[in-house]
Every structure is written in structure tokens, then in C-alpha cells.
Chains A and B, each alone.
Chain A
Amino acid sequence: EAGVTQFPSHSVIEKGQTVTLRCDPISGHDNLYWYRRVMGKEIKFLLHFVKESKQDESGMPNNRFLAERTGGTYSTLKVQPAELEDSGVYFCASSQGSGIHYEQYFGPGTRLTVT
């Protein structure tokens, strides 16, 4: 079974540009999460999808970030316009369910560098 995949693995963009990150969850996983780790700090939750619906987006830093999951399969996270402080590693995770016994499976992350 394929794991969670993320694309691209690395992205270097200039301040003010737009970047779109993609996450493909494990097939059949309705729950999809985005997390971000800024250098030197802890991993932080961004948002949670259940199928195509946003269940919790309390961690989204501001309106420059837009996440979508059309059709309830893959998800995209767009940053527009990017700022220097958006640099970090963006992780996506998926889980089959939301109960206590459903662990979250993480992708390898996308390293975003804004210059």
C-alpha cells in the first residue's frame, strides 16, 4: 500500500510569489491534516479535512494560506503571496478514521524556502 505522498519535496520561491503544495493521502483515508514546522520550532497543526470538508482550520496562520480538497482525495495548500516567515517544512498526514485507534500517517514533507 502506498503511503502519503507530497509534492514537491523542495520549493524555493521569492517573497511575493505563489506556491502550491500537494498531498496525496493513503487511498481510502477520509481524514487529511496539514502541519508545518518552522525552523527551530515545534510542528504546528494547520488544518483538518474530513473528506472534502474543512473540519478544523484553526491553525491556518492567515488568509494568505488556502487549502482545498476537492472530491475528498488529494489536497492542495496554496500560499499567496509568500512571505519570508512562511519558510519551513509542510507535512501532510492522513488517517482512516478519527477515533482513538486510528493513527495518522505522515508524508515526507515539502521543504519551502522563501527568499
Chain B
Amino acid sequence: LAKTTQPISMDSYEGQEVNITCSHNNIATNDYITWYQQFPSQGPRFIIQGYKTKVTNEVASLFIPADRKSSTLSLPRVSLSDTAVYYCLVGDYRAGNNRKLIWGLGTSLAVNP
């Protein structure tokens, strides 16, 4: 199972674009990259998932370079409500019914007014 490395914390201001990069040097061919968001006193919430290149949804974009050894979560024009911990997870979710998620410590994002 691939290990991930993220910055422990980041600071930003309202209206800015925030990019959080995650390193996963030993990612395997069948691994997918998933990002979760967690607000205080809540459980984690799925944001976005991808395998390669770029994925975009209504919340964020995920950029994955060709070698897939890293990925960048991009949050456009953040607001105070985006203050949360963001987790990058890597794993092969195709392996039968075993879909346990392997977590790192995440990146604590603080959005300031």
C-alpha cells in the first residue's frame, strides 16, 4: 500500500486558489488517488478521485502528472468554510471487497479573512 506525504498545514486567504500537493512515490499501477475533507467534529467526506491527468468536479480539481508519483488538489477561490483537514489517500480499490482506506495525517488548511 502506497504511503503518502503531505504538508502538515497551510494558510490561505479568502478568494485565493489553494493547491495542496501529495507525494506518493511508490504508487502502484492499479492504485487510485482519493482526497477527503474533514471538518472539526465531523467524519471525513469524499472530495475527488482520479487515476491520471486531470479530474474536475463542482468542488475541486485534481491534477496528476504522467508519472503519478504526486498529485495536487486544487481548491478554487476558497472561503472560510473551506477550513478543514485534507487527506490524500492512495490504494487499489479494485481488490475484491477489501476497500480499507489508508490514511496519513492530512493537511490542515486555515483560510483567513
Give the B-binding residues of A (Cβ under 8 A).
Answer: 4, 31, 33, 35, 41-45, 48, 50, 55-56, 58-59, 91-93, 95, 98-100, 102-109
- Does B69 interact with chain A (Cβ within 8 Å)? no
Q: Which of these, B41, B44, B99, contacts A106 with CB under 8 Å?
A: B44
Which A residues are in CB contact (< 8 Å) with B41? 108-109
Task: Provide the bound-state CA to CA distance between A4 and B46, in Å.
Answer: 14
- Does B93 interact with chain A (Cβ within 8 Å)? yes
Check B32–A100 contact: CB distance below 8 A.
yes
Which B residues are in CB contact (< 8 Å) with A92? 43
Check B44–A95 contact: CB distance below 8 A.
no
Check A42–B103 contact: CB distance below 8 A.
yes
Cβ < 8 Å to A, chain B residues 84-104 = 87, 93-94, 96-104
Which A residues are in CB contact (< 8 Å) with B42? 106, 108-109
Which B residues are in CB contact (< 8 Å) with A45? 100-102
Check A33–B100 contact: CB distance below 8 A.
yes
Which A residues are in CB contact (< 8 Å) with B105? 41-42
Check B98–A55 contact: CB distance below 8 A.
yes
Which B residues are in CB contact (< 8 Å) with A100? 32, 49, 93-94
- In the complex, how many angstroms separate the beta carbon of A97 from the nearest chain B beta carbon? 9
Task: Provide the bound-state CA to CA distance between A92 and B46, in Å.
Answer: 14
Which A residues are in CB contact (< 8 Å) with B97? 31, 48, 50, 55, 98
Task: Provide the bound-state CA to CA distance between A60 and B8, in Å.
Answer: 27
Which A residues are in CB contact (< 8 Å) with B102? 45
Which A residues are in CB contact (< 8 Å) with B99? 31, 33, 48, 95, 98, 102, 104
Task: Provide the bound-state CA to CA distance between A18 and B40, in Å.
Answer: 27
Which A residues are in CB contact (< 8 Å) with B44? 43, 91, 106
Which chain A residue lies CB-closest to B45? Answer: A106
Kindly list 20 other residue pairs between chains A and B, CB separation below 8 angstroms, not including A104-B46, A109-B42: A31-B97, A31-B99, A33-B100, A42-B103, A42-B104, A42-B105, A45-B100, A48-B98, A55-B98, A58-B100, A59-B100, A91-B44, A92-B43, A98-B93, A99-B93, A102-B99, A106-B43, A106-B45, A107-B43, A108-B43
